[in-house]
Structure formats: structure tokens, C-alpha cells
Structure 1
Amino acid sequence: MASPLTDIPDHLLAEIFLRLPTPADLARASTACVPFRRLATEGSFLRRFLSLHSPSFLAFLNEGRFQPALPPHPSAPAARALVLAADFTFSFIPSHSRWIVRDIRGGLVLLDRELEKDEEPTNFPELVVCDPLHRRYLVIPQVPDDLAPSLEHTFPRLPGLACVPFLLPLSEEAAKEEQASFSVIWLAYYETMMAAFVFSSSTGQWRAAASKAWSDLAFGDLEHFMAPRIPPSCMRRHYAYGVFYWDLLMITSKKMLVLDTNRMEFSVIDLPPGEWSREGLAIVEAGEGRLGMFGFRGEVASHLRYTIAQNKGTTPRQWQMEKTIALDSGYKYYIKAATERYLLLVRTQRSSVANPLYEYLSMDIKTLQLHMFV
């Protein structure tokens, strides 16, 4: 008599599940029985599965709220299941405060507390990192005063905006750990310098990780313009290969501010040659250690261009145009965000001036396929 499937050893069953073609197939298999569900939801197996299968684009953050994919987007069924299973109101955090979402990465959400009425803003407000799916959270201690002795020198007209928190993605080695730790970065904005403070959940402590004087960064003709005008909350953040990039298109610069988290060093690099539109750009991983960039050129943002650096490393050179994606000319487009696999585009009708209707589209950066998101 043949043995039931539940008698198959877990390590063999895991190898079978890893060969399922899509995450949706894994989700369906997990509903067959309790042993299947236990294996399919186990942390180390999920990390192996996701390393072999590109994650689906399920939802995005819009003005502090989660917007799931809606039909006919191919991720809509899974997005609905996520919304039903997770608590995106964060009611499991024991506090009467309202929490504001600051970053999302690797299934974790970074929150800070909204100020009470008549409460003075601080440079480093209270932070919480939580897992909405499993309803777990950790309150992050405040940055010690001895690590940031010059907080009084942050730009005085930017209380609450002079420092920006975000999550540091897990390295490949850390992601394989059974109880993977996480890190939070505070980017502090001073009149004379930039600084980064890093919290590690494995140590429970903050450390001063990097700093750089504005005068030591090669901003060229913007060297004396940067600090008093542009806080990090107004710069768009990108991530690829362990490096954060902030584009400076809002001040018509052809530069990007860089934080290499492998060496914890600040620097400045050039954008690819040409006039890039303020309608947004996205830095992505193009493969083989090379950077890729999506962006618009000129005043009319109807043709999305994809260019790839021909060298590896954090200082890209010899950019080469790979693709030009023609978009509907009846709309004006803007790049809202990017992940490891997807772009999120926003568009409005060119003829709509008053009360424009915003539509959101996702684009797979590997296949360049567009889908209406919501």
C-alpha cells in the first residue's frame, strides 16, 4: 500500500514545494493539510522559496495607508488574502498613539509615533518595527545623547524633518538565519554635515555608523546650496546591492547622494548623461552587479527610458541605453516607487487639470509588462 503524502520526510517535501512554479501554487498546496501548511510557512523554507521565485507586487503605501492590488491585476487575489490575514491598523501595538508608516521592507513595517496636540517635535521620535502578518513588534530605543552631541545644530527650520528613519535590507547571509535580525538607519541632517546612526535588533543598541561634511562631498556648483535647502525627507531614496541612493532632481542637479552600507561611507556620483525629468527615476539591480536606471527625459513624460551601467560597483560609468518604453501619450506619468522587481507608476490624463484622477500601474522590470494596479 502506498504511503500517504504526509509520510514523506520534510526535507523531501521541501524540495518538492521549492519546485512549484509560483507562490500562488505554494499557497494552494499549504491549504491541503496541517503538515503542509506548517512547512510552507516556516521561516527558513520561505526564505529559500523566495530566493528562487520573484515576490508578487501585492500592495503599496499611499499617504500612510496600504493600497492592495485590485482586479484585474494578477496579484489581486493574493493581495486580498494578505489584507484579510494581516493587521495594517497596528492594533496589536499597545498604545493609544497613532502610528505613521515610514518604511516597509522584508515583511517588516517601520513606524513612528504621531505627535500629541501641543507636543514639541523632536529630531529622533519614538520608533516601532512590527510584523503585521504575525502581529509582532519591537519598540526601538531612542538614539543616546552621547552618539549625537550636536543635535542642536540641525537645521532650525526643520523640526521633525531633519532626521529620516528607514529599514536596512537583510544581507543574503542574514536572510538565511532562522531568526534573522534587522537594522534601522537614522539619516541625520545637519547644517554642515550628514550622519547615519544604525540600530541592530541583534544587539539592541545604536551606533554612529557614518558621517561626512558637506564641504567634503563633490556637489560642484551646489556645494554651498545643499545643507540649508534640501532635507532628506524631500529626497527620493533608492536601493540596490547594499547601497542607498538619493537623487537630487528636485534641485535640477545631475548628482546622487550615496550611502554604501557595506562600508558605511557617504559619497556623491553622477547621474547618466542627459537631461532627466523631475517626474522621477528609479535605481534598480540590472544583474551581474550592475546598476540600472529608469527615468523620463524632457518635459513630456510619456517615454520611459531604461539605461544600464556597463561596470560593476557603487561608481557606475559608461551608461548604455537599453530600452525605450512607449507609454500612452494621453497621460502624464510619474515614477512613485521601485522594488527589486517592480516599478510603481502614477498617471493622470493630460486634459485633466482640476481634480485629476490618479491611476496606478505596476511594471515588471524584467519583462517590462505593465498592469493596471488600482
Structure 2
Amino acid sequence: MASAVRPARRRLEAISSPGQLQALTDDLLEEIFLRIGSPADLVRASAARSCFRRIITDPAFLSRYRSLHPLQLLGFLEGELDGSLSPAPPVSEGTRWRLRDVREGRVLFECSSLVHYDYDNFASIPNLAVCDPLTRRYLLLPRIPDDLLASVQLQDIFEFETLLVPTRDNQSSTSFKVMRKIVCRTKMVIFVFSSGPGRWNAVKSISWDALNVRLQGQMLQYAYGCFYWKIDRMNKLLKLDINRMEFSTDDLPPDHARRNIVIAEAAEGRLGMFSLIHGGTSVHYSTSVRNEDKRNSEWQMESIIPLPHNYDNYYFKETGIE
């Protein structure tokens, strides 16, 4: 057995000689390392040579690796937190930290009023914190500066919505963005906080008249780099491309004006949609097919899912695995 091992070891040493390693480009080595399924093995490879470590520790590589080999970890958080998990003491009396979004291993909290917001007062815009639930480390976000709020001429505010923005593949795993949507009677304004520079920017303002829609009704959905809102009492989706920060609308089937829907990622880049039939008797699953002009989508019914007859309340919302 000993004689059989020595030739194999010599061949391995010959393959890993410095001369032959130089023939492997960084791009090729990166593709090889991406195929290492065990994080422990990846650490061992990083320790083998300095050139390996330089590639493996690059934030862009780590982001790609984690997207291909996500950690199998599932956690549950309630909408309201007790004192042991709160990012900080409540900002003022009558407020509480509440869960607002979970994405890519981060949790977004909002310190909001227990009763109601004073929408006419910028100081009442809720404070925010981003948390790593495993380490319990928190970052309290700065407030949107008053001069930035004043520059977009906010009037008749009646809704805030805040969420974590999905990161791109080439972004560092340590950076993140938070989007705050402020809805007024006549328009919607999008503010984005970037963890790198640590500041807010007003990135988009658009009027409801320009979109030719009424106010959106349902909570947002996410698929393929875009956020979607169902327009209340209309057969339309409001779409925000988060890479271009551009708004557009997509048509829904004619009978969806009053339906509750969930948008999901289907196969081959298509959108999937689950729609709850009025009365809660069934859920229809459809997928989108792009028209030849590429400006809108047609929806094709895929299946009908019957619901139990002895229930009259259903929780119908988007979810995901991080």
C-alpha cells in the first residue's frame, strides 16, 4: 500500500508546483474555489497560499460564494420585541421597536408610535436600526436631514414604508442599503440610506398623475431586482427597478382589481403570481410571458389550488429563505 501512495503524492506535488500555478489565472482560480462546497475546505484552501487567500478573501468573491452556498439557518422573529432584543431603549415615551424587514441575514427595526404618527411633523418620522441577529450587533441609522426632506416638498404625508434593499452580486457582504418610501396625496418619494458613506439621499420622486394610477394598496413584493405594489382597485402593478431607480406599471389580468396577490420568482426569469379568489375558495397560480414589444406582460394560468372549506381567514403574503 505504501508504494501505491508515493507516486500519487509526487503527482500532486508536481501539479501544485509554482510554475503551473502561475498558469492559472485569477478568474479560473475563482471559478474553482466557487465549486468548493464546504466553507471549512475553503478556509483550508485560503491558508494554503497567499495568492489563494487574496482571491478568497475578496468581498466580491465572498458575496458570490455565499449566494451559491447559503448557510442553512432558519430563524423566527416576532413583530414586536421584548427588551432583551431591542436595538436600544425607545426613543421617546409611547414608542416601541418593531420588526419591519428581514433580508440577507439582516433585520430592520423601526421605533414607531404605539398610537399614531404625526405626519405633519418631520420629527415624528420613525427611527431605524439594522441588526445582525446572530451577533446582536446593531447600527442606529441617522435621521433623514430636515433640509433633504424639505427639498422634495413633502405635503399631506399619510404613509411610511421602510425596507432593506437586496444587494447585488458584486457588492461587499458588509455593506447594505435601506429604502424609505414616503407616500403623499400627490406623489411618492424614495430615500435611500447607504451604509458605506453613512448618509441618506433622495433618489426618486414621482407623482401619481405621471404614473396614471391611484395610490398603491398592498404591501410591497420583491422579484428579480424589482419591487412591486398592487394598485388598489385596479388591474395594475406598480414596479420599481432598484438598479435603475425607475418606476413603471404592469398590467394584471382583468379580474384582479380587488384580489390579494403575491409576486414570486418563477423559472427562466418569469414572474409568478398567486392570487386569492374572493371568498377564499382557492388560489390561482399564474406566470408572466413577455409580449413581443417587451413593454408589458401577459399572464398565463398554471394551476388552481383549492383551499379548505372549514377556514375563513388566510395569511397571504410574500416570504423567503435567507
The Cα RMSD (Å) is 4.1
The correspondence for 1:182, drawn from 155, 173, 176, is 176
Q: Does 1:265 align with 2:262?
A: no
C-alpha distance in structure 2 between counterparts of 1:114 and 1:310, whole Å: 41
Structure-to-structure mapping, 1:78-157, within 5 angstroms: 89-91=84-86, 93-95=87-89, 97=91, 98-115=96-113, 122-149=123-150, 153-155=154-156
Amino acid of the residue matched to residue 318 of structure 1? E
Identity level (%): 36
TM-score between both structures, scaled by the size of structure 2? 0.70
> Equivalent residue of 2:126, what SS?
coil
Question: CA 1:43/1:101 → structure 2, altered by over 3 Å: closer, same or farther?
Answer: farther
Post-superposition offset of 1:153: 4.1
How many correspondences in the alignment?
277
| Contact 1:130 1:136 (8 Å CA) reproduced | yes
- Which residue in the other structure is 1:322 paired with? 302
The correspondence for 1:334, drawn from 308, 314, 318, is 314
- Which residue in the other structure is 1:371 paired with? none
C-alpha distance in structure 2 between counterparts of 1:189 and 1:170, whole Å: 24
- Which residue in the other structure is 2:51 paired with? none
| Contact 2:252 2:299 (8 Å CA) reproduced | no
Post-superposition offset of 1:141: 0.9
C-alpha distance in structure 2 between counterparts of 1:283 and 1:150, whole Å: 34
The correspondence for 1:169, drawn from 166, 173, 184, is 166
> Equivalent residue of 2:107, what SS?
strand
> Where does the alignment leave 5 or more consecutive residues of structure 1 unmatched?
3-10, 21-25, 36-41, 66-86, 343-374
Question: CA 1:275/1:208 → structure 2, altered by over 3 Å: closer, same or farther?
Answer: closer
| Contact 1:211 1:266 (8 Å CA) reproduced | no
C-alpha distance in structure 2 between counterparts of 1:316 and 1:88, whole Å: 48
TM-score between both structures, scaled by the size of structure 1? 0.61
Question: CA 1:63/1:336 → structure 2, altered by over 3 Å: closer, same or farther?
Answer: farther
- Which residue in the other structure is 2:289 paired with? 310
- Which residue in the other structure is 1:253 paired with? 234
C-alpha distance in structure 2 between counterparts of 1:341 and 1:119, whole Å: 32
Post-superposition offset of 1:202: 0.9
> Where does the alignment leave 5 or more consecutive residues of structure 2 unmatched?
6-28, 45-56
- Which residue in the other structure is 2:68 paired with? 52
C-alpha distance in structure 1 between counterparts of 2:228 and 2:84, whole Å: 30
Amino acid of the residue matched to residue 143 of structure 2? Q
The higher radius of gyration belongs to 2
| Contact 2:37 2:69 (8 Å CA) reproduced | no
Question: CA 1:95/1:266 → structure 2, altered by over 3 Å: closer, same or farther?
Answer: same
Question: CA 1:55/1:118 → structure 2, altered by over 3 Å: closer, same or farther?
Answer: closer
Post-superposition offset of 1:58: 3.4
Post-superposition Cα deviations, 1:197-229, rounded to whole Å, max 9, x if no partner, equal 10100111111111111111122xx4xxx3xxx
| Contact 2:127 2:143 (8 Å CA) reproduced | yes
Amino acid of the residue matched to residue 219 of structure 2? R
Post-superposition offset of 1:152: 7.0
Question: CA 1:275/1:255 → structure 2, altered by over 3 Å: closer, same or farther?
Answer: closer
C-alpha distance in structure 1 between counterparts of 2:195 and 2:34, whole Å: 34
C-alpha distance in structure 2 between counterparts of 1:301 and 1:50, whole Å: 39
C-alpha distance in structure 2 between counterparts of 1:291 and 1:285, whole Å: 5
Post-superposition Cα deviations, 1:66-97, rounded to whole Å, max 9, x if no partner, equal xxxxxxxxxxxxxxxxxxxxx99425x34355
| Contact 2:34 2:65 (8 Å CA) reproduced | no
C-alpha distance in structure 2 between counterparts of 1:325 and 1:303, whole Å: 5
C-alpha distance in structure 1 between counterparts of 2:152 and 2:241, whole Å: 23
- Which residue in the other structure is 1:283 paired with? 263
Structure with greater strand percent: 1
